[in-house]
A and B are shown apart, each in its own frame.
Chain A
């Protein structure tokens, strides 16, 4: 995650000084998404059961949304 945020920070250039709120939003969203993706999809041994539980909830949520779609 540190690596991902470093790459994003470098890619954003001077955005931190020019538009702090946009920089904050981009870094936060990418940080949270990369953490969620790592947590759910990288097979970290210590978190296997927790990750499986959250994957099930995610799948349940997607199914629920699909059911409401035409």
Chain B
């Protein structure tokens, strides 16, 4: 389509076409016989849960976009571009492991929703494994940030190495944030998570505005602090949901690097 001169429409239409074909194909493969069910009580139950999922996704979207808006308006598009490059590079370990871990654990945790001990075991096991897999990658990224950006993207992007290095340290806290989100979703505590996300949206906006005074590294440090606060807030909610102690969190994190006697 691009060759035929459709311009931007080639991207739009190809995306729509690909999504439609994928949906039709998946519908054929899925062994579910779908039919309209007008059970109001069931609809209310599922739509309430779905609404909270959408609301949380929307707040997360606002969190990311408000950061982009502030950086773009206050510091300019070049600043935003450099920050964005650093941020996307520092999230690579997350992209590799998070969705592959979160989705099966959520399904398993939802099945044992009433068994809080099993949920607790899965929660800490997930943290341990994520720490073991991603922390070495964050350490490596911290060390090679500058030469990596310089060699792969060129000298004009070199300033992106600063936020990349700082944001790599936030990876450890993402290993707590995502499992907490899974527990809260599996235990149907999404309303509490929404409150935490809205509070964190405000913290992120403040962190960006304050961090701008110190440039790219300042903004990145602000985002790391907002991630730490979100991890604490979400863990506090998990702590109220599961029979657990704060020391268990540290044990789970350290177990990833603890050798057998």
Query: Residues of A with Cβ closer than 8 Å to B?
Result: 1-2, 5, 9, 16, 20-21, 23-24, 27-28, 31-32, 35, 38-39, 42-48, 50
Query: Which single residue of chain B is at the shortest CB-CB distance from A27?
Result: B144
B102: which A residues are within 8 A, CB to CB?
Answer: none
- Chain B residue at smallest Cβ distance from A44: B259
Separation in Å of the B126 CB from the closest CB of chain A? 11
A22 to chain B, nearest CB (A): 9
Q: Are B139 and A16 in contact (CB under 8 A)?
A: no
Q: How many angstroms from the CA of A51 to the CA of B257 in the assembled complex? A: 13
Least Cβ distance of A35 to chain B in Å?
Answer: 4
CB<8 Å pairs between A and B, sample of 18: A5-B140, A16-B147, A20-B147, A20-B150, A24-B147, A27-B144, A27-B147, A28-B144, A31-B143, A31-B144, A43-B260, A44-B258, A44-B259, A44-B260, A46-B125, A46-B132, A46-B255, A48-B260
Chain A nearest CB, measured from B60 CB (Å): 29
Asked whether, in the complex, the Cβ of B136 is within 8 Å of the Cβ of A35, the reply is yes
Flag if B139 contacts A2 (CB, 8 Å).
Answer: yes
Closest to B257 in A: A44
Q: A20-B151, A24-B151 are in contact. Are A46 and B140 (CB under 8 A)?
A: no
How far, in whole Å, are A2 and B136 apart by their CA atoms in the complex?
A: 8
8 nearest interchain CB pairs? A20-B147, A24-B147, A31-B140, A43-B260, A35-B136, A46-B255, A46-B128, A45-B260
Query: What residue in chain B is nearest A3 (Cβ atoms)?
Result: B139
Which residues of B141-182 are within 8 A (CB) of A?
143-144, 146-148, 150-151
Chain A residues near B258 (CB, 8 Å)? Answer: 44-46
CA distance A5 to B168 in the complex (A): 16
Cross-chain contact of A31 among B132, B136, B255, B259 (Cβ < 8 A): B136
CB distance from A4 to the nearest CB of B (A): 10
Contact between chains at A28 and B140 (CB < 8 Å): yes
- Most B-side CB within 10 Å, residue of A2, A20, A27, A28: A20
